[in-house]
Amino acid sequence: MKSARIHAFAENPDDIQVVDVAKPAPVAGQVFVRMLMSPVNPSDLNCLHGTYRHALERVVWNYGKHDPSQTVFYDPTLSNACPMPPHALGGEGVGIVEDAGSGFLARRLLGKRIALASGPPNGTWQEYTVVDAKRAVALPDAISNEQGAMYFVNPITAYVLTREVLRVPRGGWLLVTAAGSALGKSVVRLGKLYGFKTLCVVRGSANTQELLQLGADAVVETSTQKLQAEVFRITQGKGVGYAIDCVGGELAAEVLRCLGLDGHMALYGRLANSPMQLTVRDLMMPVASVSGFLLPNWMAQQSPLKLLSVMRAVKKLTVQGVFATEVAEVYALDQVADAVRAASRSGRTGKVMLRMASA
Ligand SMILES: NC(=O)c1ccc[n+]([C@@H]2O[C@H](COP(=O)([O-])OP(=O)(O)OC[C@H]3O[C@@H](n4cnc5c(N)ncnc54)[C@H](OP(=O)(O)O)[C@@H]3O)[C@@H](O)[C@H]2O)c1
């Protein structure tokens, strides 16, 4: 079968090789999936570049592990290892379950079309993969392959950030950076649904009209407008109560200065690839707080009951179209390097997808 793999962390998409490998076999609790489609998400680029690995080397529970031969873990219980290449890429997707290991959870998915959240080493950018049945959901007919392929990462993050982490109240202002992203647009729709106001920050104009049509309460284009001045004007000098940032760098530092009293900013990405300089007094004066967020580590801290209720809510909202994401371009698995280049281009209005099979 064809598999899009890296042999070492790489910056150049051409270093992803599509090679012929043996099909994996499901072990107990796993399903064997014939992949249909998969998105190219920013998190896939982190796996390509090795940025998760580099960040994990700095956390205290991996202290002293700088040698690439040492295993670093996502979590302090050392149960979720960050894999080192060589391995396949791809973090989520949609496919058909063709075989299953032992166990009720896996066997009940046999023959079903599922959304799966897998990841290296068992990536989704392959013709076939295996995944733990707990990380798969049978899809109703109402959810297309395209939306099914993007079922996990962004919808759950958008829901959890706004409803569980920040708990943005009805009428409150939520500032959203990189708001033209798939996740940003979902947050705007969540704002309409749950009654909070969204102040969308984008660097160009490619997504401005669509954001306004979706119901954004304000859009600030940082290429031509001054962010803090606009936030002052829009919120009548009060600042925003809540912010989510996935850009980092100078923008995140400026967003901090847009928070009102007791404001809360959640950091969940670093698209700018540069550290945020946190000026302590910018945090002290508004008595504000900043927190970090990584979906798998948030999920690992939740009770099974909480996870069940989140998954139910996300499924219902997906069927309602709250997380609908436009597909900008579709590439064949052999064209994976072009797909990664397309996903890295500025001014996109939808997702870049890989298609492994049609049905
Ligand atoms: N922490 C977590 O658990 C978690 C989970 C899910 C997603 N995320 C993060 O959520 C973010 C959005 O993901 P997505 O899949 O929705 O993204 P996406 O649809 O691929 O869109 C990415 C967006 O980021 C913008 N962007 C890229 N680099 C930027 C920069 N340097 N400054 C400002 N804007 C920039 C692009 O805008 P332009 O058109 O201006 O280029 C584009 O609109 C990513 O950072 C991802 O890693 C985090």
Return the CATH number at 110: 3.90.180.10
Question: What pLDDT does 358 receive?
Answer: 83
pTM greater than the 0.95 cutoff: yes
Question: What pLDDT does 66 receive?
Answer: 87
| Residue 252 clears pLDDT 90, i.e. is over it | yes
Mean of all residue pLDDT scores within the chain: 97
Q: Are residues 8 and 144 in the same domain?
A: yes
- Residue 188: in which H helix or E strand, if any? helix 182-194
* Structure confidence at residue 320 as a pLDDT band (50, 70, 90): very high
Q: Are residues 224 and 245 in the same domain?
A: yes
Average pLDDT over residues 206-220: 98
* Structure confidence at residue 352 as a pLDDT band (50, 70, 90): very high
CA pair distance 72, 74, nearest whole angstrom:
7
Q: Are residues 108 and 35 in the same domain?
A: yes
Q: Distances in Å between the alpha carbon of 94 and those of 29, 111, 204, 248?
A: 18, 13, 31, 31
Inside any domain, residue 224 = yes
* 259 bridge partner residues: 240
Inside any domain, residue 48 = yes
Which atom belonging to ligand 1 lies closest to the Cα atom of 249?
31
Residue 269 tokens, joined: 């990405």
Inside any domain, residue 8 = yes
Question: What pLDDT does 359 receive?
Answer: 76
| Residue 10 clears pLDDT 80, i.e. is over it | yes
Q: Are residues 210 and 292 in the same domain?
A: yes
Classified as helix, coil or strand, 304 is helix
Specify the pairing of strand 240-245 against strand 173-176: parallel
Residue 184 tokens, joined: 């940003």
Q: Are residues 7 and 146 in the same domain?
A: yes
| Residue 58 clears pLDDT 90, i.e. is over it | yes
User: How many domains does the chain divide into?
Assistant: 2
Q: Are residues 258 and 175 in the same domain?
A: yes
Average pLDDT over residues 27-42: 98
Q: Are residues 96 and 167 in the same domain?
A: no
Average pLDDT over residues 197-224: 98
Average pLDDT over residues 52-79: 94
Average pLDDT over residues 221-230: 98
Inside any domain, residue 305 = no
| Residue 234 structural domain | 154-297
Inside any domain, residue 313 = no
Q: Are residues 69 and 159 in the same domain?
A: no
Using a 6 Å cutoff on CB, does residue 186 contact ligand 1? no
Nearest to 294 by CA among 150, 29, 116, 82: 82
* Structure confidence at residue 130 as a pLDDT band (50, 70, 90): very high
Average pLDDT over residues 216-233: 98
Q: Are residues 139 and 160 in the same domain?
A: no
Q: Are residues 12 and 133 in the same domain?
A: yes
Average pLDDT over residues 222-241: 98
Average pLDDT over residues 60-76: 94
Average pLDDT over residues 89-96: 98
Using a 6 Å cutoff on CB, does residue 1 contact ligand 1? no
Q: What is the CATH number of the domain that holds 158?
A: 3.40.50.720
Inside any domain, residue 310 = no
Q: In what order do the strands lie in the sheet with 17-20?
A: 17-20, 2-6, 87-88
Average pLDDT over residues 137-165: 97
Q: How far is the CA of 97 from the centre of ligand 1 (A)?
A: 30
Q: Are residues 11 and 23 in the same domain?
A: yes
Q: Are residues 50 and 87 in the same domain?
A: yes
Inside any domain, residue 16 = yes
Using a 6 Å cutoff on CB, does residue 180 contact ligand 1? yes
Q: How far is the CA of 271 from the centre of ligand 1 (A)?
A: 6
Average pLDDT over residues 94-120: 97
Using a 6 Å cutoff on CB, does residue 181 contact ligand 1? yes
| Residue 304 clears pLDDT 80, i.e. is over it | yes
SS3 content of the chain, % helix, strand, coil (to 5): 35, 25, 40
Using a 6 Å cutoff on CB, does residue 294 contact ligand 1? yes
Residue 36 tokens, joined: 């249909």
Inside any domain, residue 308 = no
